[in-house]
Amino acid sequence: MERNRMTGGASVEETLSLTVEGLRAVKEKIRPLFGQARVAVSAEHYLETLLGNLPRKTGWQRAEAAGDEGPWRQQALLGRTQWDADGLRDIVRDHVQITLGDEDAVLVIDETGFLKKGKASCGVGRQYTGSAGKITNCQVGVFAAYVSSRGHAFVDRALYLPKAWTSDPVRLSAASVPADVTFATKPSLARQMIERGLQAGLPFEWVAADSVYGVGEIEMSLRHAAKGYVLGVAGSHWFNSWGLGERPVAGEARDIARDAPEEDWVSLSAGHGTKGDRQYDWLWCPLAELEGADYTPADNRTWIRGLLVRRNPADGDLAYFTVWCPSGTTPEKLVQVEGTRWRIEEGFRTAKNEFGLDHNETRSWHGWHRHVSLVMLAYALMAGVRAQANDRSPKKRPANPYQV
């Protein structure tokens, strides 16, 4: 009989084989990070438990799955041993580039919250998190996800430290925060992630993010890197046109949207979501035409700066985006780029539900970054396996239905 198949062309057996091969390969890549063989083995067991079917991936449950008498080895891996979590982050990014790399990819920036009790966990405090939809006691992590036609996975992360932390040396020391870590806004953390990706040669053409990140420092960094962007901004964000278009406009984003003729709005899909097709009304206002060479000497393209507005047809709710794109970019392409932000939300949900992203029980700076980086590796491994499985051509059904 025909074998059961997963999404794409690979059979279940082929997909399992790809998973085993991929796991073996990433174990070999990460082993040199740990110095001592016993620490490397603990890291490998940790990774295996993240990939397993445990309903919760807490220390005791991970230890039991690994055959340990208690969680002490895993606690040591996250907190007491010496190894570089940033080195692991770089391995994850390289793995994603190899398995999902695409020149037209989008780097998506967003944040997520980690609900916590008490005051000792590094970076914890009463702050807003979209995960809970309110101000609550939590940690906040800023993440970069790589989204291409082949799949999506996380490639970078940073724990946000509120000023209440960075202004308290005793608290920083207790959480083992490195001495060179100072206060950085979320947009600054995002800019650092983008620059790390650029320096590493990560191929992407666009950056997408919500209104927390639609600020000048990220915009200018991307212009100088000759990368396009679709970044959320507030309705009060001011836009000026420099004579481009039939009706030059200037003013706050919400006023420009309010005054636009209805015929300028078009209905386009931002992609398929969990509740079906995400169909919205869109307004594209190209405002200025600029030369790429003014920002990057080798860039001979002409770029358009503009305003993109999304309107929910159900309730009229509006969202606004500042845009930088090569001349000739269609509204459909801009909508597609904006729609990739949904992928990082999907990634957070999957990483928490399936890989234990929010099951970190350590309180230190190193513990957070090490646990999150290992989760990112597990996620990237499976994203790469899915991409490989989708590449496999389904075998033809045998002429004899009883023939294997």
- Residue 62: per-residue pLDDT: 64
CA–CA separation, 146 and 198 (whole Å): 13
Q: How far is CA 325 from CA 66, 129, 206, 231, 284, in A?
A: 49, 30, 9, 12, 12
**Residue 290 CB neighbour total at 10 angstroms:** 17
Tell which wins on pLDDT, 274 or 326.
326
Q: What percent of the chain has pLDDT over 90?
A: 76
User: Of 148, 246, 130, which Cα lies nearest the Cα of 186?
Assistant: 130
Residues 205, 325: Cα–Cα separation, whole Å: 10
Q: What pLDDT does 226 receive?
A: 98
Taking only the tens place, the pLDDT of each residue in 55-109 is 666 665 666 666 666 666 777 888 877 899 999 999 999 999 999 999 999 999 9
Looking at the whole model, is its pTM more than 0.85? yes
Number of C-beta neighbours around residue 250 at 10 A:
12
Q: Which of 86, 123, 107 is nearest to 372 (CA)?
A: 86
Average pLDDT for 328-341: 97
The pLDDT of residue 12 is: 84
DSSP calls for 59-110: HHHHHHHHT-SSTHHHHIIIIIS---HHHHHHHHHHHHHHHH--TT-EEEEE
Map out the domains of the chain as residue ranges: 206-345
Contacts of 124 (CB under 8 A, 6+ apart): 116, 118, 137, 138, 139
Mean pLDDT in residue range 192-198: 98
Phi, psi of 326 (to 5 degrees): -60, 145
Quick: pLDDT tens for 115-174: 999 999 999 999 999 888 899 999 999 999 999 999 999 999 999 999 999 999 999 999
Average pLDDT over residues 253-279: 90
pLDDT at 244 over 70: no
CB burial of 83-108 (b: ≥16 within 10 Å; e: otherwise) equals bebeebbbbbbbbbbebbbbeebbbb
pLDDT band at 295 (very low <50, low <70, confident <90, very high): very high
* Mean pLDDT lowest among 239-253, 288-302, 354-368: 239-253
Give strand pairing partners of 140.
113
In the prediction, which pLDDT does 10 show? 73
Q: At what angle do helices 59-66 and 37-51 cross, to 10 degrees?
A: 110
**Cβ neighbour number for residue 136 with a 10 Å cutoff:** 15
Q: Is the pLDDT of residue 396 over 90?
A: no
Least confident piece of the model among 269-278, 283-292, 349-358:
269-278
64 close to 98: Cβ distance less than 8 angstroms:
no
Q: What was the pLDDT predicted at 22?
A: 95
Cα gap 48→56, rounded to integer Å: 14
Condensed to tens digits (0 to 9), the pLDDT of residues 14-62 reads: 888 999 999 999 999 999 999 889 999 999 999 999 998 876 666 656 6
Confidence of residue 401 (pLDDT cuts 50, 70, 90): very low
* Res 399: pLDDT: 46
Check: CB of residue 95 under 8 Å from CB of residue 85.
no
Angle at 359 between CA 358 and CA 362, to 5 degrees: 105
Q: How many DSSP H helices and E strands does the chain contain?
A: 13, 12
pLDDT for the residue 54: 74
